Amino acid sequence: MNGHSLSVRFALCAPRFAICALLLALCSWLLALRSRRLKPAATAYFRRLKPAATAYSRRLKPAATAFAFILFTFHLSPFDFAQGKPFTCPGAGAEERLKLATTTSTENTGLLKILLPPFEKKYCVRVDVIAVGTGKALKLGENGDVDVVLVHAKADELKFVEAGFGVDRREIMYNEFQIAGPKSDPAKIKGIKDPAESFKKLAGSSSVFVSRGDDSGTHKKEKEIWLKAGIKPAGKWYIEAGQGMEQVLQIASEKLGYTLTDSATFLAYEDKIELVILMEGDPILYNLYGIIAVNPKKYPNVNYQMAMKLIEWISSPEAQAIIEGFKIKGKVLFHTLPPPPARPAK
């Protein structure tokens, strides 16, 4: 570690040590204050305690020395243990970092919490997850601010690659979009098979519709359905929340309104809201997820090698089994794609 890194680490740790020093000083003052009244009894007590304390400290000293050695050798502080940070890669020094911009559904459902740790352990890397809407995730990739993106808007993903911002796109899993609304269904859309017809009826009834309004994959799909319905939604009944799926579901529930949701997020949060699924199953509602490495030729500083390892990992049978096995109430949130056909032998 160079001098600059040490100075930065010292600057970050200094406030912690200052707080510890203040707490120790306060404890010492309180003990001193209390000891004035308890000194006679305390003196007798500590005379009896001293032999046992001395023996205990002799046994504890080697362990304390080893612990201090670990902290110094691997540039850690006791706070790293208190905060639950994983202790990884001691033989390789500082662990590598990979920046992943992803759609909120993969993060909010908990999928990444079980999918990423095996990858991090295998390759000695920390994945920094930035969970935003698909549009914002792709924008982060366009600016070279992340190494890899995991999103769900195929048309925009292909444009991203064609424009030279991304390479090695791979489709990894899918679920579906659904129309959710109050159980009373004031717009009477239950039973309608065509999403565009459902949207027409929603607009005609002036029932509240809560839109993501954030250029996410879900918002893009919603706009596609409105376009197919020949309607440009506007008015008090149409609310553009500009928030994530979890928040939009909550708003729709509070207002007894409708919204378009991805099936995974709805399943993860349905116990917290007063909404039910009223429309699903149409091919237009198919929700495909793709992962793309940011182009190293355009942004040489991106971690392309590790991005490709993540893409290979998520496509591997091991990771695909994790994805398919991820369930809530016995229901699969994300389905894996059939493996590509085997190449004919030469």
Residue 337 pLDDT: 85
3-class SS at 230?
A: coil
Higher-pLDDT residue of 66, 282: 282
pLDDT digits (tens, 9 = 90+) for 245-269: 999 999 999 999 999 999 999 999 9
pLDDT score of 60 more than 50: no
Going by pLDDT thresholds of 50, 70 and 90, the confidence category of residue 28 is low
Distances (CA, A) of 19 to 22, 64, 251, 331: 5, 22, 41, 48
- Please enumerate in sequence order all residues whose Cβ is within 8 A of that of 98, keeping only pairs 6 or more positions apart, or say none: 125, 126, 127, 128, 147, 148, 303, 306, 307, 310
Instruction: Please return the burial class of 288, using the count of CB atoms within 10 Å of its CB with bins 0-12, 13-18 and 19+.
Output: middle
Going by pLDDT thresholds of 50, 70 and 90, the confidence category of residue 211 is very high
pLDDT digits (tens, 9 = 90+) for 78-101: 434 333 444 446 444 457 999 999
Going by pLDDT thresholds of 50, 70 and 90, the confidence category of residue 17 is low
Q: What is the mean pLDDT of residues 316-322?
A: 95
CA nearest to 302, candidates 128, 111, 109, 71:
128
Q: Look at the block and give the residue holding tokens 């995730």.
A: 137
Q: What is the mean pLDDT of residues 67-82?
A: 40
Task: Report the distance separating Cα 174 and Cα 143, nearest Å.
Answer: 27
pLDDT score of 45 more than 80: no
Residue 95 pLDDT: 74
Contact 188, 279 (CB under 8 A): no
Task: Report the distance separating Cα 7 and Cα 91, nearest Å.
Answer: 23
Distances (CA, A) of 152 to 159, 162, 244: 13, 17, 14
Sign of CA dihedral 271, 275, 281, 286: negative
Task: Report the distance separating Cα 104 and Cα 109, nearest Å.
Answer: 8
pLDDT score of 160 more than 80: yes
End-to-end CA distance of the chain: 50
Strand-pairing partners, residue 240, are 211
Dihedral, CA atoms, 304, 297, 337, 152, nearest 10 degrees? 100
Instruction: Please return the burial class of 17, using the count of CB atoms within 10 Å of its CB with bins 0-12, 13-18 and 19+.
Output: exposed
Higher-pLDDT residue of 82, 291: 291
Residue 21 pLDDT: 60
* Chain centroid offset of residue 158 CA: 24
Is this model's pTM higher than 0.75 or not? no
CA nearest to 98, candidates 318, 291, 337, 334:
291
pLDDT score of 276 more than 50: yes
Q: Which domains does the chain have, with CATH numbers?
A: 90-174+289-336 (3.40.190.10), 176-286 (3.40.190.10)
Higher-pLDDT residue of 83, 340: 340
Average pLDDT along the chain: 81
DSSP H helices, 74-185, are: 78-82, 104-108, 111-123, 134-142, 154-162
Residue 1 pLDDT: 43
Higher-pLDDT residue of 316, 32: 316
